[in-house]
Structures are given as structure tokens and as C-alpha cells.
Structure 1
Amino acid sequence: MKQLDIGVVGAGPAGLAVALFLSRAGHRVEILERFDTPAPVGSGLLMQPTGLTVLAALGLLDTIQTLGNRIDRLHGADAVSGRTVLDVRYDAAAGGRYGLAVQRAALFNTLHDAAVADGITMRTGMNIASAAQRRDRAVLKDQALRDVGDYDLVIDASGARSVLAAGSLHAPSIRELTYGAFWATLDGAGADYDQTALSQRYDKAKVMIGLLPAGRATVGDPDKVAFFWSLKVADVDAVKAAGLDRWKSVIRNYWPACQPFLDQIGDWDQLTLARYAHRTTLPPHSGNVVFIGDSAHLTSPQLGQGANMALLDAAALGHALANSSDIATALAAYARARRNHVRLFQMLSLAFTPFYQSDSTAIAWVRDRLVSTIAKVPPMPGLLAAIVAGTVIDPFKSAGLTEHDWLSSPHQADRALPVVDAIKSSAQI
């Protein structure tokens, strides 16, 4: 592949990662970001072995591990009875895998600092409205229809509400999901929570409360915890109208150990409402524009794969361009490389959603009594661990990656904490 002029729309994890891969491969890359100052959006996220392997390929694994918090399992209990209904442990599958909970700011800062260090051009305040094909190049236009960039290839990493994906020849239909979630990043000091687990409490499938120990945004900062509460998007106004104290009392009744976190919330503005949707852009390219991350695929967050899938997209696209003689061949290779993995995890995420976010009492009963029992019977523990890790089918080879050797990671061995069986408060509910 000759040296290309490449425009990357969006300075989120997908955009920053793909810019790093392609700039290091010798292409001329610039990032176009709509905000005047690039910044992360959201609270915490769970990095899986898939996304961590991509960061290792970029030489950023040590940095993100210094900021993140190792997660060894996902634990969920019925908020009324205290009975465990979800217990997925990474070590149920071979290989020494683990998760790493991070603040979105930590992931953003790690990638952004690397892009700045590599001298990648970033143009901010660029409100891209459309892309036009001009002979064998792609031209980006702003809302006034002025040309703002002319490239051999445009990579759309602008996220869930991408105007380029919506305006493409293969514009996908979007299915808005009924449930969203309130998120907040809070201090963990003095609170009683499992520091090695994503912990959740459920009341049937209508209520889901979660705590994710998310590490620190920068070295020297105090550790934070990402707190979330699932609810119907249509109910948000009614919940707010009932008042913050009423909302806190509901959560406190379900999970008393959340009190130290609730005490830190004094205003609705401290909570970010996340809305979720499902869509797939097929194929994930149109002319000389290619889609990665949430621009290419969206789904329920139940398996926590969003940022990890975006990083895999970035690696796969870089690999395809490095091993193809022209752009059209590379984009077709990228689509093939990601097709099976993306489709599988979109399907799995949608399948899991009703068990944790729905009005169905019957599905919740099946989850709590049947599924939780089957999940303990071999080979299910290992299969569930592979699903959570994102490795139930190999996503690495097609992206030109070799999975990181987790067993030889002394940094994580030093940081690992003993696993606590369950949050103590579950016995009090």
C-alpha cells in the first residue's frame, strides 16, 4: 500500500487508536474532532483481554494497567434474597486472563497522550456534516457545505450518532433500546465493596444497580468507583420529578452498602444518562469512507464489549491496509476480518439483555433459578468466562494480533488483590 492521506473523524478511543496504528505504518494522518477540546464522555468501562491486547500492540498496556483496577469476576445477587445469580470468573478459562476496569478519562488520556507524542495532527472544532466521493478520494464537508478535508481514505470513528454513517449508501436502521442507565464516578474511600469484581444487584429484570471499581484518571489521583442504575429511558422524567431523595431511598433499600456513594450525589447533574441502541453498518464502508467502533456497530452494553470492539476494529483496519495493494481490497478485507466477531457479540448482547433489563418476570425467574444453576456445570463456567473476555471465537488473528501473554505479566501479579466472595452487604438485604 502506498502512503495515504487519511482523515480520522472523531478523537475517541477508536479514532485515536486507528490514528496511532496508521501513523506508525507511515501514512499521513490527521484527526478531526468536533469539540474545541477533545475529552472523554462517560464514566467507567471494563477493558477485556481483547482491548488490552490492542493496547499492548500499541505499547500502552503498562500505562493503562497503572491507572486501571484489575477485575477477576462478575458477581450479581438478587437484591431481595441476597442469593447469587451471576458469578463469572475469568480464571474459569485457561490462560490467566482478567479484566481491567478503567475510567474513560484514563483510556482517553493514555491514547491521546500517545497521539500527541507521535505528532499526529489534530484539528478541533470541526463539525463534520457529510462526506462526498470525488473521483478516487473522499472529501469532508462541514455544515455550511464547505470542504474541510480531501483524503485518500476517511475513517469514521465519530460514534453512536455518526452523521457519516447515517448519510452513507448503506445507512443502517437504528433500534433504540428501552432501557438506559444513570452513571456517576464517585470516591470509593470508606465504602464497602468488592475491589476485584463488577458487582450488581437485581430485582427481577426491572432493577439493576452496579459498582465497578474503576481506578484513577491520572497517576496520583484517588481510586474511583463507577456507580450505575438501570432504568427505562421513558421513566427518567418521572424519576427526577419524584426527587433525588426518593431515588436514593429506593437504592438504599435494595443495597444499603451504596449509602457512601449516594451521600456524594447532591444533584441530578452528577448523573449521566446513557442511552443504548442497536445497529449494524453493513458493509462497514462506503466508497472511500470506512466505519469503525460505534459508527460501525452498536448493541446493548450487557457484555461490556463496546470499547474493546472499537480497538479491535482499529487494529483490524490497520492490518488490512498493511496487507493489501489498494484501498478497495483493504476495506473488503477489514469487513471480512471483523464480520463474525462483531455479529456474534451483537447477537449475544441482545440475547442477554432481557435477562437483566426488561419487564419480564418469567425471564428473570429463569435467570435466577435455571440459568444460574446451569452456569455452574462444566463446561459452562469456562464458556461464560470466554464470552465475557470476548474470546469465545478468536478475534486476534484476523486483526494481525497475537494475544498478550497474561501469565507473564508481573505488573498485574503485583496489583492483584484477593478475591472477596461477595459484598458483605448482601447478607444484610
Structure 2
Amino acid sequence: MKQLDIGVAGAGPAGLAAALFLSRAGHRVEILERFEAPAPVGSGLLMQPTGLTVLAALGLFETIQSLGSRIDRLHGADATSGRTVLDVRYDAAPGGRYGLAVQRAALFNTLHDAVVVDGIRIRTGVNLASVETRGDRAVLKNAEGVEVGDYDLVIDASGARSVLAAKSVTAPAIREMTYGAFWATLDGQGGAYDRRALSQRYDKAKVMIGLLPTGRAQVGEPHRVAFFWSLKVGDVDEVKAAGLDRWKTIIRNYWPDCVSFLDQIEDWDQLTLARYAHRTAQPPFSERLVFIGDSAHSTSPQLGQGANMALLDAAALSHALVSCADLPSALAAYARARRNHVRLFQLLSLAFTPFYQSDSSVIAWVRDRLVSTIAKVPPMPALLASIVAGTLIDPFGPAGLTERKWQEDLSLLSGMA
């Protein structure tokens, strides 16, 4: 394909990764960001072998590895009885896979620094409102209706509540999720937590508390831990009105080991409320506007696939643009490459959600008694490991990727602090 002028809306992981791939493929790329200075949003996240393979393709694996915390399993227990109800281990499936928990700032800094080194232009303070097609060009306009860019292709990487996606002819219906979560990034020094696991405590499906070691944002900084507490979005005001001390007491009664983290929270402003929505753009493009990441698809966070799916989208779109002779063919190829993987993991995330975030005591009983028992019977441990890793079906080949050889890094990662 000829060299394209490409505008990328959004400087999150999806937009930054897409810009890197496409700039290195010879296209002219600029990123448009609505904030005055690009910055990460959120607390911690779990990088899976899928997202890590994309970063490896960009030459950024060693950087993110040096910042993150290796995760070997996901473990959850009933807060009252202490009974294990979730225990998913990556090594239950062959291949030497593992997760890498990172601060969102670490992922952002890794990608943003590479964009700066590559000389890709970032325009800040651009509040995009619409895109229209004029002949063979896509014209971006801001909230005042002023033209801010003219491109062969616009990539919308501006998130689940994208204005560009909402105004598109392929705009998907948005299903707001009942449950969200409070998140905070806290000092892990001296805290009681499993350094190699995502650990959770449950009270039926109404309460979910979690600790995730997330490494450091930059080399030389202390290691941090992401703390989260699930709750109904509609209950947030009531919880806050009851007071921070009461909230801490509730959590402390469920999980005493959280005391050292709770002591660091002195104000509600230290907690970020994450809201979730389910949506799927079908197809993930409209004329010369293409969607990646949460602009294309989003769902509940139960499988921790969001950032990883976004990175896979960036790789798949770049691969399609390299492999096809014209833009319409490339966009159709991108949609095909991601269709099955996205649909499967959105379905799985929705299916798992009621077991961990719902008002149903029956579903929680089924989870604790039946599902947790079945999960121990082969081949279920390996199947669950593949689901968590994002590799239940091949996400790599359609995106033009070759999965990294994880076992080559095993001895190095085992010695990480």
C-alpha cells in the first residue's frame, strides 16, 4: 500500500502502539490527544502473554519486564470461611506463560517514550467531536466545528465512550455494567500480600476485594500494589456518605491483611471509580474511520483482557495495512483478523461477570461449590489458564505476530525483585 496520512485519536496504549507500528511501516502518523499533556488513566493492570507479545514486536518487552511484577496465578477465597474458590495457574497449560502486572503509568511511559524517540508528532489539547469523509480523505473536526486534521485514515483509539464512535454509522449500543470498582495504587512496602499472584476475597458475589502487585512506574521507584473494591456504581454516593472510616472497617473485617493498605487511604480522592460498559462495533470501521481498543469493543474486566486486546488490535490493523493493496481491503482484513478472538472473550467476560459481581446468592453458591470443584478436574486447569492468558484461540497469527518464547525468560524473571 502507498504511504498514508494517518491521524490517531487518543494517546492511550492502543493509540500509541498503533502509531508506533504504522510509523515504522512508513506511514505519516500524528496523534491527537484531548488533554493538554498525555498521561495514564487508572491504577494497575495485568499484561497477558497476548499484550506482552505485541510489546515484544515493538521492541519494548525488556523495558516493561523491568518495571512489572511477574504473576503466576489468580487466587480467590471466601472472605468468611477462607475456602479457595478460584485458583488459576498459568503453568497449568504448556508453554511457560505468565502474566506481568504493571502500573498503567509504566505501560504508558514505555509506549510514550518510544513514540517520542521515533519522532511521532503528538498534538495535545485537541477535543475531537466528529469525522467526515470528503472524497478519499477523512476530515476531523473539534467541538467548535473547526477542522483540525485531514487524513487518508483516522484511527479512533479514544476509549469506550468515544464521541467519534458514537456518531459513526456503525455505532454500537452501549450496555452500562451495574458494578464498577474503586481503585488505588499504594505502597507495597511491608504489606502482607502474595508477590506472585492476583489475590481476591469474596462475600458471595456482592463483595470483591483485590490486591495486585504492580511493580514500579519507572526504574528506581518503589514497588506498588493496586488495591480494588467492587461495588455497584449506583451505591457510590451512599458509601461515601457513610464515611471513609466505616468503609475501611468493612474491608478490614473481611480481610485483615489489608490494614497496611487501608491506612494509606486518607481521602476519597485517593480512590478512582472505574465504570465499565459492554459494546461492540460491527464492523469496527466506517469508511475511513477505524476503531481499535475500547472504541471498538469493551466489556466487564473479569478476565483482565482490556489493554491486551487493544494492543492486539493495533498489531492486527498494522498487519492488515501492510498486507493489503488498498484501504478497503485492509480494513476488512483487520475486522476478520480480530472478529473471533474479540467475540469469544467478550462472551466469556460477560459469562464470568455474574459469578463475581451480582446480587445473586445462588450464582455465588454455584461458584463456590460446583465451579471451584470442576476447575480442579483435568482438562479444566489448562483450559482456565488459556482463558486467562487470552490464548484459548490463536490471537497471534491473524495479527501477523509470533508468540514470544516464554521459557527463554523463565530464569531471568524468577530472579526479579
Shorter-chain TM band: over 0.9
Query: For 1:85-140, what per-residue CA distance to the aligned partner results, in whole angstroms no more than 9, with x for missing partners?
Result: 00000000000000000000000000000000000001000000000000011000
**2:13–2:310 CA contact under 8 A, matched in 1:** yes
| 1:378 paired residue number | 378
* Residue 309 (structure 1) aligned with residue 320 (structure 2): no
Letter in 2 for 1:92: A
Letter in structure 2 aligned against 1:339 = R
Matched residue, 1:323: 323
1:110 maps to a residue whose letter is T
**2:108 paired with 1:105:** no
Offset at residue 17 of structure 1 (A): 0.1
Quick check: 1:177–1:276 contact (8 Å CA) kept in 2? yes
Aligned to 2:355: 355
CA positional deviation for 1:167: 0.3
Q: Is the 8 A contact 1:4 1:152 kept in 2?
A: yes
Helix, strand or coil at the partner of 2:86: strand
1:346 is aligned to 2:357 = no
CA contact (8 A) 2:132 2:140 kept: yes
1:74 equivalent to 2:74? Answer yes
Distance 1:416 1:95, change over 3 A: farther
1:128 maps onto 2:131 in alignment:
no
Residues 30 and 122 in structure 2, CA contact (< 8 A), matched pair in contact too: yes
Deviation, structure 1 residue 416: 5.4
Q: 2:218 is matched with which residue?
A: 218
Q: How do residues 16-415 of structure 1 correspond to structure 2 at under 5 angstroms?
A: 16-409=16-409, 412-415=412-415
Deviations 1:289-333 (A, max 9, x none): 000000000100000000000000000000000000110000000
Q: Deviations over 1:267-302 (max 9, x none)?
A: 000000000010001100001000000000010000
CA distance in 2, matches of 1:21, 1:413: 27
Gaps of 5+ in 2: none
**Cα separation, 2, equivalents of 1:118 and 1:411:** 32
Q: CA deviation at 1:144?
A: 1.1
SS state at 1:88 partner: strand
Shift of 1:415: 3.2
**SS at 1:409's partner residue?**
helix
Tell me the CA shift for residue 414 of structure 1. Answer: 4.0
1:411, CA displacement in angstroms? 6.5
Q: Is the 8 A contact 1:69 1:101 kept in 2?
A: yes
What is the identity, as a one-letter code, of the residue corresponding to 1:345? F
| TM-score, length basis structure 1 | 0.96
Matches of 2:137 and 2:411, distance apart in 1: 45
Counterpart Cα distance in 2 of 1:47 and 1:400:
19
SS in 2 for 1:110: helix
Distance in 2 separating the partners of 1:71 and 1:414: 11
Code of the aligned partner of 1:175: R
Counterparts of 2:58 and 2:316, CA distance in 1:
13
Distance 1:330 1:189 in 2: 49
CA distance in 2 between partners of 1:353 and 1:322 (Å): 37
CA contact 2:71–2:197 (8 Å) conserved in 1? yes
- Aligned residues of 2:96 and 2:410 also touching (Cα < 8 A): no
Secondary structure of the structure 2 residue equivalent to 1:141: strand
CA contact under 8 A between 1:65 and 1:412: conserved in structure 2? no
Q: CA RMSD in A?
A: 0.8
In structure 2, C-alpha distance between the alignment counterparts of 1:172 and 1:181, rounded to whole Å: 24
TM-score when normalising by structure 2:
0.99
Q: Deviations over 1:36-92 (max 9, x none)?
A: 100000000000000000000000000000000000000000000000000000000
Kept after mapping to 2: 8 A contact 1:184/1:272:
yes
1:420 is aligned to: none
CA distance in 2, matches of 1:31, 1:234: 35
Q: Which amino acid aligns with 1:415?
A: G
Q: CA deviation at 1:410?
A: 5.3
CA contact (8 A) 1:70 1:412 kept: no
Letter in 2 for 1:293: G
d(CA) in 2 for partners of 1:63, 1:17: 15
Given that 1:74 and 1:88 are in contact with CA atoms closer than 8 Å, whether structure 2 keeps it comes out as yes
- Aligned-partner residue type, residue 306 of structure 1: G
| Amino acid across the alignment from 2:283 | P
Q: Which letter maps to 1:308?
A: N
Q: CA deviation at 1:409?
A: 1.3
Distance in 1 of aligned mates of 2:399 and 2:190: 43
- Per-residue CA deviations over 1:152-199 (Å, capped at 9, x if unaligned) read 000000011100000001111100000000000000111110000000
Alignment check: 8 A CA contact 1:70 1:415 kept:
no
SS at match of 1:266: coil
The amino acid across from 2:96 in the alignment is G
TM-superposed CA distance for 1:412, in Å, is 3.9
Deviation digits for residues 358-379 of structure 1, max 9, x if unmatched?
Answer: 0000000000000000000000
Distance 1:274 1:99 in 2: 22
